[in-house]
Structure 1
Amino acid sequence: MNQFQGKSFLKEIDFSSAELSYLVDFSAHLKYLKHHNIAHPYLQGKNIALLFEKTSTRTRSAFTVAANDLGANPEFLGKNDIQFGKKESTEDTAKVLGRMFDGIEYRGFAQATVEGLAKYSGVPVWNGLTDEWHPTQMIADFLTLKENFGHLKGLTLTYLGDGRNNMGNSLLVTAAKLGVNIHMGAPKALWPSNEVIGLAKEAAVKSGSKIFLTEDPQAAVEGADALYTDVWISMGEQINVKERIEMLLPYQINQALVDATGKDSTIVMHCLPAYHNHDTEVGKELGEEFGVDALEITDDVFNGPASVVFDEAENRLHSIKAIMAATLGNLFIPEI
């Protein structure tokens, strides 16, 4: 009995609150096994395709190590190895890969591509990120929250910055499904679509989560147990950079905004990479151009005592492992 078996993991809204909670808790269990050197080869002998149209550090590393820990054989296929409509249709690619691999991870641009892979491959497909959703990141993030507070229901998470990107969408919907109050501080032009907000509100009615969107960063952070931000310009996004940075500077997570939560226990999260100083080419170039030491989060907060960003990054491994094992490992999982 396993309602996850053979199922793809494409977006959070496809799963119930109980199923998402199970994946968070299963991730914690697998983290315990990893830290205590207890073998867990649930995918022994399986072959996993890792398809990457977008570059990656954490997602690629996490899927590779997760596959190896689970006993599977991962095969990386980069943007020069896969076609997706250039020389071969997504449907044809999916049908071929599904005959050779037991599971497929995809990280790229269009949600339609990962949905097509799932539709035509006949094997579980895992969304490592698209322009619309980032579901594997969510399991890691809510595991991090639960590790710090011991529970999820009733916590308040504030997301600041570009609310229309995949992280804004995913955090809004997942928090609403899990009973976590979700605040979003962003310019109205960068709020999620009405469709996404509607999905979150629908989920919140069932879970008791409270949803609050505002253009006022101070109001957004009041009472927050966790502050969360992401880069202000998504990979491949064509925008007026000056306009975007000037629009979002009031939403930068700095110590003053952390203090404005009114809580000493507030944690700070970021899915990385982060432009918290000038130690990257992009961070240096943008920082010098706009006269700022950091963009979406200041260095003192990023590296300060409230920051859990590296725990969160490690948790990508354990959460991805849980998702892969639950959907492909023939595990006994009682009806949730």
Structure 2
Amino acid sequence: MTATLHPPVLSGRDFLSSLDLTPQDYRAVMDTAHAMKRGEFRGQKPLDGLTLAMLFEKASLRTRTTFDVAMYQLGGHALTLTNQEIGLGTRERVSDVAQNLERWVDGIMARVYLQSTLIELAQHASVPVINGLSDSLHPVQLLADYQTLEERFGDPRGLKITYIGDGNNMANSHIQMAVLTGADVTICTPVGYEPNGKVLIDALAAGARVTLTSDLEAAVSGAQVLYTDVWISMGQEGEAERKRRAFDGYCVTPQMLDRIDADGIFLHCLPAHYGEEVVPEATEHRKSRVFDQAENRLHAQKALLYHLMADRQPRW
């Protein structure tokens, strides 16, 4: 028997940051994602007649594919727009792009260089705007990550998560998720490569359990979840050699995974730069859930789209 979808809880809102959700919102999205993965709503089309515009300043495999497939499975349509076609902030003002798109589509997902671009889109568009990645945050990835964690551990409250590597958008997003979920997050990065200071200070002020350290051995030992990301993000290629020197020793290997909790798991948001932050044997390790994590981009984003857009009426 097909289950009935619960009413959407995020109707018309933007999702630019994990902290755009309350703990109750998070629980509703996660419960929907788990149920969708189990196939409980198979065949239902709650976004029938709705369209999502997908804006890409940065290349994408997982974000593009999973949002596109998610809209199709929910009965909607996804439209891909590259920066060569739009020219956000160059060929056209961001505010103009937003005010055009809001008249044609029911939601906007943007994968961009700057968080400020997303904020401007959201300020000028009356439809939901979703952060598909920016220089500051990657919240849709964290939804998939935490779905993967819940599949293994259940409630993430108190879960010992160690992120090692660059203090980039992924590190910032892990810190925000500590606020939202109560997970115990350690960010391990070399001196000089720490995450955004305001993100960290705000999280600590909110009571989150976040530790910042450069002690790799202590951070890895006994962790229930070990997480890494590329050291050199798109647009940072000029810093490659300097970062490789700074992060020497931070590469995740099978030997490192042997030092985490016996029942622990390894995650990487992909793509992997093998030989830098990780070796292939780590993503293929028995503790790796990297490809389950990638699969969950589809289920988590499908749940997010449902909760943001399902109350909208088709335009035709």
TM-score band w.r.t. shorter chain: over 0.9
1:330 aligns with 2:307: no
Q: In the aligned structure 1, how far is the partner of 2:44 from the partner of 2:130?
A: 20
**Displacement of 1:255:** 2.4
1:251 aligns with 2:250: yes
**Displacement of 1:172:** 1.2
Q: In the aligned structure 1, how far is the partner of 2:237 from the partner of 2:42?
A: 46
Aligned to 1:197: 200
Structure 1 residue runs of 4 or more that deviate by more than 4 Å after TM superposition: none
Q: In the aligned structure 1, how far is the partner of 2:111 from the partner of 2:44?
A: 25
- The SS at the match of 1:128 is strand
- The SS at the match of 1:115 is helix
- The SS at the match of 1:19 is helix
Paired AA for residue 212 in structure 1: T
**Displacement of 1:211:** 1.4
Aligned to 2:135: 131
- The SS at the match of 1:188 is coil
- Give 5+ residue unaligned stretches, structure 2: 1-6
**Displacement of 1:77:** 0.5
My pick for the range that moved more, 89-98 or 75-84, is 75-84
For 1:138-287, what aligned pairs fall within 5 Å after superposition?
A: 138-163=142-167, 165-203=168-206, 205=207, 209-261=208-260, 263-276=261-274
- Give 5+ residue unaligned stretches, structure 1: 277-293, 332-336
**Displacement of 1:247:** 1.1
1:299 aligns with 2:280: yes
Contact in 2 for aligned 1:24/1:140 (Cα 8 Å): no
Paired AA for residue 57 in structure 2: E
Paired AA for residue 145 in structure 1: L
| TM-score (normalizing by structure 1) | 0.87
Q: In the aligned structure 2, how far is the partner of 1:239 from the partner of 1:183?
A: 28
Q: In the aligned structure 1, how far is the partner of 2:82 from the partner of 2:150?
A: 34
**When you count helix as a share of all residues, which structure comes out higher?**
1
Paired AA for residue 300 in structure 2: S
* Number of equivalenced pairs: 306
Q: In the aligned structure 1, how far is the partner of 2:205 from the partner of 2:33?
A: 27
Contact in 1 for aligned 2:251/2:279 (Cα 8 Å): yes
Among candidates 14, 20, 32, match of residue 14 of structure 1: 20
Q: In the aligned structure 2, how far is the partner of 1:172 from the partner of 1:40?
A: 35
Among candidates 46, 58, 66, match of residue 50 of structure 2: 46
| TM-score (normalizing by structure 2) | 0.93
1:314 aligns with 2:295: yes
Kindly report the root-mean-square deviation, in angstroms, between the aligned alpha carbons of the 2 structures: 1.6
Aligned to 2:4: none
Paired AA for residue 328 in structure 1: M
**Displacement of 1:22:** 2.2
Aligned to 2:3: none
Aligned to 1:25: 31
Distance 1:37 1:19, change over 3 A: closer
1:243-283: CA deviation from partner (whole Å, max 9, x where unpaired): 2112112211112322232x21110000001123xxxxxxx
Q: In the aligned structure 1, how far is the partner of 2:29 from the partner of 2:41?
A: 21
Paired AA for residue 95 in structure 1: Q
Among candidates 68, 90, 94, match of residue 86 of structure 1: 90
1:28-62: CA deviation from partner (whole Å, max 9, x where unpaired): 111112xx782131100001111111110000000
